[in-house]
Structure 1
Amino acid sequence: MNGLGELEAVVMDVLWEADTPLRVREVLDRLSTSRTLAYTTVMTVLDNLHRKQWVLRDKDGKAYRYRPSGTREEITARTLRRMLETSTDPDVVLLHFARSASVRELAVLRQVLDERSGDR
């Protein structure tokens, strides 16, 4: 997933697949990576994801339980919004994106624009 490191993306996949919030140990146990990871490594990744607002955490005794702060699609849209807001020229970014969009993506954008123009 764009905007995330390889391990962060794998951890997010674990959280999105989970039915309930998970502790660090539970995330570690569910990770399928080619290398052995330390508990503290996963804890650091989860802390970074929390700082980036990709995950929420709730205190559970002395530990935290982690859950995604939204669906994959919601977080991706939020990331795109932040990138536009921090760009020095968001209009140019949108133009580049529109030029690179597939026919299907353009159809979705057209549908939303038509809906919004009907709101006026």
Structure 2
Amino acid sequence: MKGQLGDLEDAVMTRVWRLNRPVTVREVMLELRRERTIAYTTVMTVMDKVHRKGLLHRELDGRAYRYTAVATRADYAAALMAQAWSHGDCPTQALVAFLGGMSPEQRDALDEALRIVRGDEEAPWTPT
């Protein structure tokens, strides 16, 4: 996976993740049109760009491509965090700054994740 997603790329990926099945450009466009005016060619260009970034796999189905997400949204977020972590001169300082900016809800989620990773409790969710 290469790089962070722009706003429209994120909107497209959100629909692909939400639909959770192979989708066409037209299907994603119709989903996006519930909230904004957008052209088919724009969605096609964005999906091609996200495909080149390695987040979408595509397969030709007749005359159209069907796209599927290569990874879950959680996997994508984890990759972004790992990428950010690897760019710092002092990972400890970066982590302290990051943790200092977290909301109480985010810290609770972090505590829960650490308990799960340590094996202190089972995950209350199923990864997709």
TM-score bracket for this pair, using the shorter chain length: 0.7 to 0.9
In structure 2, relative to structure 1, the CA distance for the partners of 1:34 and 1:84 (3 Å cut) is same
84, 104, 115: which one pairs with 1:111?
115
Aligned residue number for residue 126 of structure 2: none
Q: Percent identity?
A: 35
> Does 2:38 align with 1:33?
no
The one-letter code matched in structure 1 to 2:8 is L
User: Which residue identity lines up with residue 21 of structure 2 in the other structure?
Assistant: T
Higher helix share: 1
- Return the alpha-carbon distance in structure 1 between the equivalents of residues 30 and 110 of structure 2: 41
- For structure 1, which runs of at least 5 residues remain unmatched after alignment? none
Q: Distance in 2 between matches of 1:74 and 1:105?
A: 16
**Runs of 5+ consecutive residues of structure 2 not aligned to the other structure:** 120-128
Please report the TM-score for the alignment, with normalisation by the length of structure 2.
0.69
Deviation at 1:19, TM superposition (A): 4.2
Q: Deviations over 1:41-77 (max 9, x none)?
A: 1011111211222222222234321112222212111
Shift of 1:30: 1.9
Cα distance change on mapping 1:48 and 1:93 into 2, 3 Å = farther
Query: Does residue 97 of structure 1 match 2:98?
Result: yes
Q: What root-mean-square deviation, in Å, do the aligned CA atoms of Structure 1 and Structure 2 show?
A: 2.4
Distance 1:84 1:51, change over 3 A: farther
Give the residue type in structure 2 aligned to 1:94: L
Tell me by how many angstroms 1:89 deviates. Answer: 4.1
Question: Is 1:6 equivalent to 2:10 in the alignment?
Answer: no
What is aligned with 2:80? 79
